[in-house]
Structure 1
Amino acid sequence: MRGRFTGVRLVRPPAVAPALLSAVALTLLSAVALTLLSVASPAQAAGYRYWSFWQAGAQGSWAYATQGPATARPADGEVNGFRFAVSADSADSTRPRTAPDFAALCADTPAKPGTKRIGVVIDFGIPADAPEGETPPAPEQRTACARVDPAASSAEALAAVAKPLRYNSDALLCAIAGYPESGCGEQIAASKPTASPSPSHASPASPASGAQQDTQEDARAAQDTEGGPSLGVLAGIAAVLALGGAAFRQSRSRSRSRSRRRRG
């Protein structure tokens, strides 16, 4: 009886085309390069330097006004606030720094028949937000109690205690008590990414405008981007892509050589 030997046949896995491997590698390298590029150049939003308009909210807080001072008609005992700052939205940093306390603001202004009293807080902001060559007037925070007609708007109450006011041709409030001397809602490059402007958050408008205007929207540019990848990062990305391309070409060259040898 003959012995039988059962061997194990080794099966070589099918070869993967070198060109395919190189193409995959190049794709991965490109993805890495694009990721580096996106990380190296973060978008930077634009800020705006302007007077924002606030109204007293709940529990002694400030609430960003939903309409302009020209159309807002506060009742007796309310408080309006104005803050000059650089911001891309209604962040807390642009709120008036003095609390809207009507009792304290109008303690020395007794009620009078046929009139109403409106507390007014004016915050001229910090030196860092001032236009070039200007500084906020001292004191930086001022308060007043405006006694006005019962039908008076917030803009009229402001004019009663903080002249001179300045408006631009678009009826945007540019200066309170003469500050700043120039400029109006200009766009400022932000030092870090900020939130996108909100159309409902607007800056004060003049009595002639009839509606609150948004300085961010008025700039007619949602956001500009600044900065970009460094030369070193760009050089690195270029090197990665170049190496990937060289590997791909070399692989194709080897594949052609093998094909010619088979035909020969």
Structure 2
Amino acid sequence: MTGPSTKLKDGDVEGWTFTASSNDIPATAPMMDPDFASLCGDVSQVAGKIRVGLVVDFGGAEIAPEGETPKEFFSDCVVVAEGSTGLDVLSSALEVRSDKSGLICGIAGYPAQECGVEITMPSVNASPIAASATNESPMNSSNSLALGALAFIALVVAIVALRRRSK
């Protein structure tokens, strides 16, 4: 798996997504299936630089923070110095907000303030709880993960998927 510190090469496609998942519900795939040719096909190579397709999926309204509306899907061809990382590519095109630990909290002002909040995820197991079951809530801590961690995991999955598609 790769992440924001991975050094990219000319022809890569870097994908970022705002999503949520749990042990039961996988992260959603990006809403667009980009490829390098469609993003950077008309951009010429430059000595000492690399061309990277960049896509950012701001997610659906169902996981948007209260009072916020997801931004439109972003895609572009970014030209950066050789040796640049995924975070370098993203930062060269859009504003990135992170916390002290380096967790990416927002891209292009979305979400406006929150960072890694826990959300309640519905369970895919809709079977009723038996009468002899304990008093434990069906949404225990193993099913409820921090949104920031989920977004990072989804990001890594999206990057891997996009790289596999671009090859």
Same fold judged by TM-score > 0.5?
A: yes
- TM value normalised by structure 2: 0.71
CA RMSD of aligned residues (A): 2.5
- Residue 83 of structure 2 corresponds to which residue in structure 1? 151
Task: Quote the sequence identity (%).
Answer: 35
Distance (whole Å) between structure 2 residues aligned to residue 128 and residue 202 of structure 1: 15
Distance (whole Å) between structure 2 residues aligned to residue 115 and residue 178 of structure 1: 27
**How far off is 1:180 after superposition?**
0.4
Distance (whole Å) between structure 1 residues aligned to residue 75 and residue 36 of structure 2: 10
- Residue 9 of structure 2 corresponds to which residue in structure 1? 75
Distance (whole Å) between structure 2 residues aligned to residue 90 and residue 72 of structure 1: 28
Distance (whole Å) between structure 2 residues aligned to residue 114 and residue 130 of structure 1: 39
**How far off is 1:92 after superposition?**
5.6
Pick the aligned partner of 2:100 from 169, 173, 176. 169
Q: Which runs of no fewer than 5 residues in structure 1 stay unpaired?
A: 1-65, 205-211, 213-264
CA gap 1:202/1:83 in 2 versus in 1, 3 angstroms: closer
Distance (whole Å) between structure 1 residues aligned to residue 65 and residue 23 of structure 2: 19
- Residue 189 of structure 1 corresponds to which residue in structure 2? 120
- Residue 61 of structure 2 corresponds to which residue in structure 1? 127
1:178 equivalenced with 2:121 (yes/no): no
Q: Could you say which structure has the higher helix fraction? A: 1
Instruction: Flag the structure with larger Rg.
Output: 1
1:105 equivalenced with 2:36 (yes/no): no
Count of residues in correspondence between the two structures: 133
Pick the aligned partner of 2:152 from 203, 228, 250. 203
Q: Which amino acid aligns with 2:116?
A: G
Distance (whole Å) between structure 2 residues aligned to residue 134 and residue 188 of structure 1: 15
Alignment of 1:44-83 (within 5 A): 66-69=1-4, 71-83=5-17
